[in-house]
Copies of this chain bind each other. A is one copy, B any other.
Amino acid sequence: MTFFMSETTGKKPGPEFNSEFRTMLEELFRWRRDVRHFQTTPIDPKLLNNLISIAALAPSVGHSQPWRFVKVETEKSRALIRANFERANAEALAGYTEERAQLYATLKLHGLDEAPVHLAVFQDTKSHLGDGLGAKTMPETLTYSVVGAINILWLAARSHGIGLGWVSILDPDAAKDDLGIPKHWKLIGYLCIGYPKEDQDMPELHRTGWQKRLEISNFIIER
């Protein structure tokens, strides 16, 4: 990495990223996956804390830092979340019919049993950090800030060969009860974290035929 002095201010040196780094960064984006197949190998607690620290480098509206990270470690808490998933998944399966229901039932949609780390990430909706700046007309950007932190955590984990799976098949309010979380915290993501059983560069739902990846040209318009 090389450093340069900004021509504009002459004050702030910043890193300059080269093409080799950009190539590897794109590889990181391509090989980040929603992982549901984990090894049970533990994650070093110091490394986990380091990953959470890095996650907090995410952008947050008004610098509000609304992320709250809950390490779900007890057998009891994990069993309650597992049961929560089973109820939500049975309900989801009931919403599909025929071939689609059959395919859904074959999909592995979580790694709750094997992943050594469960991390529930919340938004503290009553925090006054940031004093509401940027969040008056679009208060949902506070929620989005927590989503950003999860995305940074995801990438940082993958750079260490660690996989992350986001379990969204949960009743979020029941999950708060399951974990004894204050009512004014909002569940954003329940994450399984651990070393993956295999690496993949295509989403599992693409490979299983549930939903193919589309060309980006479908998603760009001009105004």
Contacts and interface: CB of A to CB of B under 8 A. Distances in A.
Given A69-B220, A179-B223, A100 B211 contact: no
A197 B7 CA distance: 8
A62 B211 CA distance: 7
A160 B22 contact: yes
Contacts of A214: 65, 129
B210 A17 contact: no
Given A56-B216, A151-B152, A156-B25, A9 B197 contact: yes
A82 to B, nearest CB: 14
A46 interface: no
A222 interface: yes
Contacts of A216: 49, 52-53, 56
B58 A151 contact: yes
A117 to B, nearest CB: 12
B73 A223 contact: yes
30 contacts: A8-B39, A8-B197, A8-B198, A9-B198, A14-B199, A15-B31, A15-B199, A17-B24, A17-B161, A22-B156, A22-B159, A25-B159, A29-B57, A49-B216, A49-B220, A56-B219, A62-B211, A64-B211, A68-B221, A70-B222, A77-B223, A92-B132, A92-B137, A107-B133, A131-B210, A138-B170, A138-B172, A138-B187, A144-B147, A144-B189
Q: Which 10 A-B residue pairs are closest in the complex by CB-CB distance? A: A14-B199, A63-B211, A63-B205, A29-B57, A147-B147, A8-B197, A151-B151, A141-B168, A144-B147, A9-B198
Interface of A: 1, 6, 8-9, 11-17, 21-32, 34, 39, 49, 52-54, 56-59, 61-65, 67-74, 77, 88, 91-92, 95-96, 100, 104, 107, 109, 120, 129-138, 140-141, 143-144, 147-148, 151-152, 154-156, 158-161, 166, 168-172, 179-181, 187-189, 197-201, 203, 205-206, 210-214, 216, 219-223
